[in-house]
Structure 1
Amino acid sequence: MSEKPSGRREPPPPPEPLTPLIDAHTHLDACGATDAAAVTAILDRAAAVGVQAVVTIADDLESARWVTEAADADERVYAAVALHPTRADALTDEAKTVIERLADHPRVVAIGETGLDYYWPGKLDGCAAPDTQRDAFAWHIELAKRTGKPLMIHNRDADDGVLDVLAAEGAPETVIFHCFSSGPQMARTCVDNGWLLSLSGTVSFKNAKALREAAPLIPAGQLLVETDAPFLTPHPFRGAPNEPYCLPYTVRALAGLLGRHAADVAQETTSTAARVYGLASCWS
């Protein structure tokens, strides 16, 4: 659950190309991709500005089935499967069986997004309670270990809770904090543990003070970039619908914050994504 586009604004214009890039976390189904042709159209728009591949993420059981089909439909698409923490009530034995089966798909490169969301309970009807989220998070951690695939974490207002569960269960070898939005203290903890932090369009928001202080603390080998499309469109298009082709806007904003060349940030984050997701043979 992220800040949703209002639907009242036009999509951002294509940015100047920046290559190579991998969108480490997006939601192609929520972007309106209803069939293989629509998936290809989205990836073609992304490729035109340098985004060579995307990882599309499941947040419920139907989406978990869909993302694997999308990954089969276009070689530039990879997938991650899990139940979003707010939907943890749906993690029945049957759902576990389905997710376990899908997790073995060769184009599923991560288990996610899972984790804890303490923002939505009490605000969103049907949102899973924190205790239920913790149980589901622990199950997904075990699945990541069993499959040997990275664990992709959704963390909203739950720094301490997420760290507690990771400590209690034992973190998998590779942990990715998607759409990292915490401050310097959490960033240091994650970096010290060898975990990866993926930054979205929020890093371009001037009011994201804690995140913008945290970003320079992330070493190159632990930094990823993502759109989380159709959510979190970067400044100055905040509120407009997001899509993978918008990723260069975020990377340029991040590079400006870091005082670095955007091309260097693009190359480094692509190399890291290729390594983490097991795509190194494609992006060396």
Structure 2
Amino acid sequence: MSSKKDASGPPPPPRPLGVAVADSHTHLDMQEGSVEEALAKAASVGVTTVVQVGCDVPGSRWAAETAAAHAAVWAAVALHPNEAPRLVHGDPDGWSGQRRAPGGRAALDEALEQIDALAALPQVRAVGETGLDYFRTGPEGVEEQQYSFRRHVGIAKERGKALVIHDRDAHEDVLRVLDEEGAPDRVVFHCYSGDAAMAKTCADKGYYMSFAGNVTFKNAQPLRDALAVAPPELILVETDAPFLTPAPYRGRPNAPYLIPYTLRAMAQVKGMDEDELAAAVAANTARAFAY
């Protein structure tokens, strides 16, 4: 008989992968346990590299410090799209849990300068997650989000780093801003959320598409349709942990060691051998993040 704890706690480890891969997007600072424990557990199932992603200045600084301390970790630094309106207008629910007093555009510019400085570090391989999120931020936050996004695009190009995109309910505007600003050489759509038509557009532009555990959800057929048409050389896999735990463990805490569940589901959608897809994903991630 399974206990209530079993039904809500960490899922069991999957069967190890035959070919090692990377978790292209995770938030170790939001997960339980130590970084060392998370990395060891991930490595035991064939997930040997992770990209730790910052969402605000403190989180980005932590990502850079963690990547400097661990060979298996690379960092991405940025202000999450929802962080920009928080800095300008104030919000008690910032990513770091700190109360945000209204700081105006000057506060946003100061934070962007700190992100730019972090992006220059060698262990920081990407600027992100940046982009647009119209789901949690209403029309009043669009101007600040788009301003911040454009600045991040510029930082990525200036520093020669990949750009990691957070795109929620904002597909057309994200693609438009990238066209208007001129996209960096390497663009990753984290937790890809578009349809098959958008996947073809991304493929035409050479943008990487990173798929998370939600591709396994029953109601996610449009995501699977997008994955089906995405070229194997542009596909990545991620957890976005502690969020988006793959089926059949949806709702329980996610972590990098659960990547094999998602990758195996992706291989079925692509009609590819598991090892073949893992090898492609591993090569793609190394190319996207230049490590």
| TM-score normalised over the length of structure 1 | 0.90
**2:259 aligned partner:** 247
Letter in 1 for 2:158: R
Contact 2:79-2:112 at 8 Å conserved across structures? no
Secondary structure at the aligned position of 1:232 is classed as coil
**2:92 aligned partner:** none
Aligned pair count reads 265
Secondary structure at the aligned position of 1:245 is classed as helix
**2:11 aligned partner:** 12
Letter in 1 for 2:21: L
**2:56 aligned partner:** 60
Counterparts of 1:64-83 in structure 2 under 5 Å? 64-83=60-79
**1:155 aligned partner:** 167
* In structure 2, C-alpha distance between the alignment counterparts of 1:256 and 1:8, rounded to whole Å: 26
Contact 1:54-1:244 at 8 Å conserved across structures? yes
Contact 1:64-1:82 at 8 Å conserved across structures? yes
* In structure 2, C-alpha distance between the alignment counterparts of 1:57 and 1:72, rounded to whole Å: 14
Contact 1:9-1:240 at 8 Å conserved across structures? yes
**1:217 aligned partner:** 229
Contact 1:26-1:54 at 8 Å conserved across structures? yes
Structure 1: gaps (5+ residues): 1-6, 280-284
* In structure 2, C-alpha distance between the alignment counterparts of 1:57 and 1:138, rounded to whole Å: 19
Letter in 2 for 1:145: K
* In structure 2, C-alpha distance between the alignment counterparts of 1:171 and 1:147, rounded to whole Å: 13
Structure possessing the higher relative contact order (Cα contacts under 8 Å, 6 or more residues apart): 1
Residue 40 (structure 2) pairs with residue 44 (structure 1): yes
Secondary structure at the aligned position of 1:160 is classed as helix
* In structure 2, C-alpha distance between the alignment counterparts of 1:169 and 1:244, rounded to whole Å: 33
**2:84 aligned partner:** 88
* In structure 2, C-alpha distance between the alignment counterparts of 1:154 and 1:93, rounded to whole Å: 20
**Aligned CA-pair RMSD:** 1.5
* In structure 1, C-alpha distance between the alignment counterparts of 2:74 and 2:183, rounded to whole Å: 23
Greater C-alpha Rg: 2
**1:276 aligned partner:** 288
Q: Using the TM superposition, give the Cα deviation of residue 97 of structure 1 relative to its aligned residue in structure 2, in angstroms.
A: 2.1
**1:178 aligned partner:** 190
Residue 155 (structure 2) pairs with residue 112 (structure 1): no
Q: Using the TM superposition, give the Cα deviation of residue 134 of structure 1 relative to its aligned residue in structure 2, in angstroms.
A: 0.4
Identity %: 47
Secondary structure at the aligned position of 1:80 is classed as strand
* In structure 2, C-alpha distance between the alignment counterparts of 1:72 and 1:265, rounded to whole Å: 29
* In structure 1, C-alpha distance between the alignment counterparts of 2:69 and 2:140, rounded to whole Å: 32
**1:21 aligned partner:** 21
Contact 1:87-1:128 at 8 Å conserved across structures? no
Secondary structure at the aligned position of 2:50 is classed as strand
Letter in 2 for 1:78: W
Letter in 1 for 2:198: M
* In structure 1, C-alpha distance between the alignment counterparts of 2:21 and 2:140, rounded to whole Å: 35
Q: Using the TM superposition, give the Cα deviation of residue 8 of structure 1 relative to its aligned residue in structure 2, in angstroms.
A: 7.2
Secondary structure at the aligned position of 2:145 is classed as helix
Letter in 2 for 1:25: H
Q: Using the TM superposition, give the Cα deviation of residue 88 of structure 1 relative to its aligned residue in structure 2, in angstroms.
A: 1.0
Tell me the alpha carbon deviations over residues 40-81 of structure 1, each in whole angstroms, 9 at most, x when there is no partner. 110000000000100000001110111011112211011000
